[in-house]
A and B are shown apart, each in its own frame.
Chain A
Amino acid sequence: MAYTAESVEHLAAQFAQLPGIGRKTAYRLALYVLKMDKEEVVSLARALVNAKEKIRYCSVCSNITETDPCGICSNAKRDRTVICVVEEPSDVLALEKTNEFKGLYHVLGGVLSPLDGIGPEDLRIKELLGRVSSSSVDEIILAMNPNVEGEATTLYLSKLLKPLVGKVTRVARGLPVGSDLEYADEATLSRALEGRIAV
C-alpha cells in the first residue's frame, strides 16, 4: 500500500534495491532527499549517472577506472615485476589504503565457487596468464579471502602460475591485529602457527 506520493514511493523502491538497504531505511533516505536543496539533489543524481557512464574496466588489470589503462597500471613509479591478484575492485581499494604495496594488481572478478558452479572460465584467469607470459613478472601475490572459495582459487592459481613465475606467494592467514589469542578458534590459530615468521 502506498503511504505517500507516487514519486516518493518510486524513489524509496529504487533505494531499496541497494545492498543493505531495507524498506524502512529506503523511505528514510527518500524523505531526506526531499529535504535537500535542489542543487544537492541534482549533484547527487549527476554523480550517479557520471559514475555509471564513465567507469569501465581497465584493459590490463580489470580494475574499475575512468581512463584505460587505469591510474595504477599507467603509473611509471609502480613496480611492474610484482602482481597482486585479488577478487574484486574493493580489495584493490583496501590494499591501496595500506600504502605498503607498490606493485600492480589483477582483479579476477570473483573466486572459484564449486558449490555455486562458478568455474575458471567465469573469472579473468586467461587474462592473468596472458599478462604473466607477455611481461617480466618476478612475483605473483595471491590475495584471496581466507575461506573455502579463496582456498580453492589459491590452490588452482598456484598450480597454473608456478611454471610461469619464479615466485608465487599468498597473503598470510591467522590472527587479526588487536584480537586476543585465547579467543581465536583452532583453525585460525593453527594457520597462524603454520605461517609464523622469524623475528
Chain B
Amino acid sequence: MIVRTDAVVLKSMRFRDTSKIVTFYTRRFGKVAAVAKGARETKSKFGAALEPMTEVHLVLYKKAQRDLQLVSQCDIVKPFKNIHAGMERMQTALSVLELLHQLTHDEEENPAVYALLTETLEAIDQADRNFQNYLYAFELRFSALFGFRPVFEHCFVCGRGVADENPRIMFRIDRGGLLCSRCADRRIGDRWAGISTSIGSPTARILQRLLTARLDSLSALAYGGPVWNEVDETLRSYLRYHFEGWRPLKSAEVFRAMTADGH
C-alpha cells in the first residue's frame, strides 16, 4: 500500500552497494525503518533528503507484515540548514534524535511527539546559544507526553509553593515531584518510599522553565556550572527510572571526546 506522511530522518545507514536503510519518525506511523534503493548514487532522486535532522514529506510502499518498508519518494520540507553548519547545534539535535530513537518503539503513532520533535529542531536551528537547554527541554516534555510530567512549582503532597524553600528541596524521582520541607519532615512522603534526590531551588526554577517556557525563549536561559550539573544529573536519573530503554547517549559521549580534544 502506498502511504504518505511527514517525517523526520532519525538515522541513515549504508545498505548493500548503493542503498541506505533509513529510520524515520513519522507523523502518521511513529518510528519506521525503510530501504531507499540507490540512495548513495550521485544522481539519486533522494538527494540530501535522507540526511538525519531533515524534515521530509515521505511516500512509502508499506506492508503490514514486514519490518523494513520501501521508500518510494522523499522530498525535503525543512532542511534545518543551521543545525548542519555548527558543531554545538548538531550535537544537541543528534542527541534529541538518538533519545527519541532509543525511547520509542516501531510503528507507535504519536502526533504530539512528532510535533515536539519538529518544534525542537526548529528552535535549535534558530537558536544562537545555550543549545543544551533544548535537549533538556525535549527530555522533560517528552516525559510529560508519556505520562511522566514532573512537578517543580509546588509540593506534590500538600500543594504548597516551594519557591521559598531553602537551601535544598527533595525531588522524588519515582513520583516526579518536589516535596516541601514540612511534608518531608512529617515523613508524609514515606507512604511512597522510593528514590529521591535533593536539588537547589534555582535548579527547580530552571527545570520548571525548561518544562514550560516557550522553546524559542530558551536560548536566553543561562545558568552556572553547579546548576547545570544538577539539572543534567536530575534528568539522567529521572529518565533512567521512568524509561526502561534509556541508556547514556552515544552521541553525547562522542561530542564530549571531540570537545576534550578540540580545545
Give me the interface of A with B, judged by CB distance under 8 Å: 19-20, 112-121, 125, 146-148, 151-152, 155-156, 159-160, 176, 178-179, 183-188, 190-191
Contact = CB atoms under 8 A, between A and B. Distances in A.
B244 interface: no
Most B C-beta atoms less than 10 A away, residue of A20, A114, A184: A114
Interface stretch (B86-94, B133-141, B221-229): B86-94
Contacts, number: 89
Contact of B16 (A19, A113, A159): A19
A125 B261 CA distance: 10
Given A19-B17, A120-B261, A190-B79, A147 B254 contact: no
A115 B251 CA distance: 5
Nearest to B101: A115
Contact of B258 (A117, A156, A186): A156
13 contacts: A113-B254, A116-B250, A119-B258, A120-B258, A147-B12, A148-B52, A151-B90, A152-B87, A159-B87, A176-B42, A178-B43, A185-B76, A187-B49
Given A148-B84, A152-B90, A190-B79, A115 B250 contact: yes
Given A114-B94, A147-B12, A179 B43 contact: yes
Contacts of A19: 16-17
Given A148-B90, A176-B42, A187-B79, A117 B254 contact: yes
B48 interface: yes
B120 interface: no
Given A187-B76, A190-B79, A114 B254 contact: yes
Contacts of A118: 254
Nearest to A178: B43
B253 interface: yes
Contacts of B12: 147-148
Contact of A115 (B17, B97, B257): B97
Interface in B12-50: 12, 16-17, 42-43, 45, 47-49
Contacts of B16: 19-20
